[in-house]
Structure 1
């Protein structure tokens, strides 16, 4: 009977049936049969542990480094060994990526209370590093307050405040608002 047919009839995975069929002794049938046998990685394990502690967690890179050090095994052995490290020492998560323009725009145009803690922290860091962005953020939030609270009568004062700051991108926006506010000639 084939391995596949045996697996189906016994309701076991093909890998399990293959392991059982290939076992030469009863010891090999025990789970973890390789636990007490020497590994081709044994001489290289201290180096792998050192590199992992240094922050190198890429199995392919570790494999190539081991090859340069004389390792004669395959990449699968290294991948499996490194995967045990990942299970034992899960990473804290991916490193925080730099925010995109879209991210920052979204953060500045939303209510500050609606930002996640990480977003709020990033906004504070950005505004502390870039005074022009901090002024822009103040004006954007003030504009949002005017619109949300329907305080259009204060728009002229807001426009004057923006024009007094050296923020060319907001000046373009303000000029467009000015054109919208100017009554068009009867035509």
Structure 2
């Protein structure tokens, strides 16, 4: 391990820093205060530069911060074959650490498979599996699905999509909003026909 300087106090601080870093203390201001307590008179920027993790120095890298919840949701919602190796490994570690998140991710993936492969007949079994776990947010989803179960099963089974109709409705609403509520129905009709 390189020394900060040939000065004995600086050699001591380098050893001390390496020991504390290895113990898991990666808070530079805290380490700087500790060094001042043993007689270090240098600046905090020198300590920062010294602790910049690098393989050449042999210092262990600082631990990565926990991923944000949005990133975890994105990993769960992404097809596993499309995740990078690092993201897949991070998600695996998170799922091992949190059984509730693991169960939710498993149910989400099962639903995605049902949706993409159009296996609507599997919906009742999937809903029973979800209700068997302690996931209140998904339980409320199941309540909504049960109210219109036949339509949901048909939607999961049918190759037809209402996406084109929904897109047209959205376009008409946009044209109506552009009139700021001042346009008559006749003007809206003409704008729709011109755009078509």
Tell me the TM-score range normalised by the shorter chain. Answer: 0.5 to 0.7
RMSD of the TM alignment (CA)? 3.4
Q: Does 1:53 align with 2:21?
A: no
Higher relative contact order (CA 8 A, sep 6+): 2
* Number of residue pairs aligned between Structure 1 and Structure 2: 141
Q: Report how far residue 147 of structure 1 moved.
A: 1.3
Could you say what secondary structure the match of 2:65 adopts? coil
Which aligned pairs between 1:64-143 and structure 2 lie closer than 5 A?
64-71=33-40, 73-75=41-43, 79-80=45-46, 83=49, 86=52, 88-89=56-57, 93-143=61-111
**Correspondences of 1:3-22 after superposition (within 5 Å):** none
Instruction: Tell me, yes or no, if the aligned pair for 1:44 and 1:66 is still in contact at 8 Å.
Output: no
Looking at structure 2, the residues matched to 179 and 142 of structure 1 have their Cα atoms a distance apart, in angstroms, of 21
Whole-Å separation in 2 of the counterparts to 1:99 and 1:82: 24
- The answer for unaligned runs of 5 or more in structure 2 is 152-196
Name the residue aligned to 1:160: 128
43 and 174 in structure 1: CA distance in 2 versus 1, 3 angstrom threshold: same
Please give the TM-score of this superposition, normalised by the length of structure 1.
0.56
Deviations 1:23-80 (A, max 9, x none): xxxxxxxxxxxxxxxx8x7231221221232126776555544544445x552xx744
Q: Partners of 1:132 and 1:80 in 2: how far apart?
A: 44
Report the equivalent of 2:115: 147
Offset, 1:164? 3.6
The whole-number CA distance in structure 1 between the counterparts of 2:91 and 2:112 is 17
Q: TM-score, normalised by structure 2?
A: 0.54
CA contact (8 A) 2:104 2:135 kept: yes
